Copies of this chain bind each other. A is one copy, B any other.
Amino acid sequence: MEEDVKDIYCKKPGEAMGLALKEAQAAAKAGEVPVGAVIIDSQTGKVLARAHNRVERDNDPTAHAEVLAIRSLSKQQKNARLKDCDLYVTLEPCPMCATAISFARIRRVYYGAYDPKGGGVDHGPCIYEHDTCHHRPEVYGGLSEEACAALLKSFFQERR
């Protein structure tokens, strides 16, 4: 985890996405593609992990926000399967992250902006639609879509 999140509870999906957006803003500040993710306990709303894209800083092509949050929490819980956890992420997960989310047995995925060019949940390989996918989370796309998309848009506009 990037910082101590032990005492934060989210009562509504919008609150958790707000934290994910804060992570995404921190990514942008650090020159990383602004995507942030948060994992909460679905029963209590407790924030268990949060992370943002660190591909550049870590020199790691797998260091997407979702993978980092999952990796951090599974180590913390000493369990590769994260039962009763929901994941919030500001951008539609790519196929790598969508699969990692399935492996981690995440219960629900809430995502912000749709990603027709690189998404793997509702676009491209649509990871959860195949018989070979052994765990399908419930998926809710488009939560705080405008704010999430605006952050990505301005990041890429500044870089052109």
Q: What residues of chain A have their CB less than 8 Å away from a CB belonging to chain B? A: 55-56, 58-62, 67, 70-71, 74-75, 77-81, 94-96, 98-100, 103-104, 116-120, 123-127, 130-134
Out of B61, B104, B119, B123, which one reaches A61, CB within 8 Å? B104
Q: Which residues of chain B have C-beta atoms less than 8 A from A133's C-beta?
A: 124
Out of B58, B78, B131, which one reaches A59, CB within 8 Å? B78
A103 to B96, CA, bound (A): 9
- Inter-subunit contact A62/B62 (CB<8 Å): yes
Q: Which residues of chain B have C-beta atoms less than 8 A from A119's C-beta?
A: 132
A80 to B59, CA, bound (A): 5
- Inter-subunit contact A62/B55 (CB<8 Å): no
Q: Which residues of chain B have C-beta atoms less than 8 A from A118's C-beta?
A: 132, 134
CB distance from A119 to the nearest CB of B (A): 7
Q: Which residues of chain B have C-beta atoms less than 8 A from A120's C-beta?
A: 95, 99, 125, 132
CB distance from A57 to the nearest CB of B (A): 10
A95 nearest in chain B by CB position? B99
Q: List 14 A-B contacts (CB under 8 A).
A: A55-B80, A56-B80, A61-B100, A61-B103, A62-B70, A95-B96, A96-B99, A96-B103, A99-B120, A116-B132, A118-B134, A119-B132, A124-B130, A125-B130
Q: Which residues of chain B have C-beta atoms less than 8 A from A130's C-beta?
A: 124-125
A95 to B121, CA, bound (A): 12
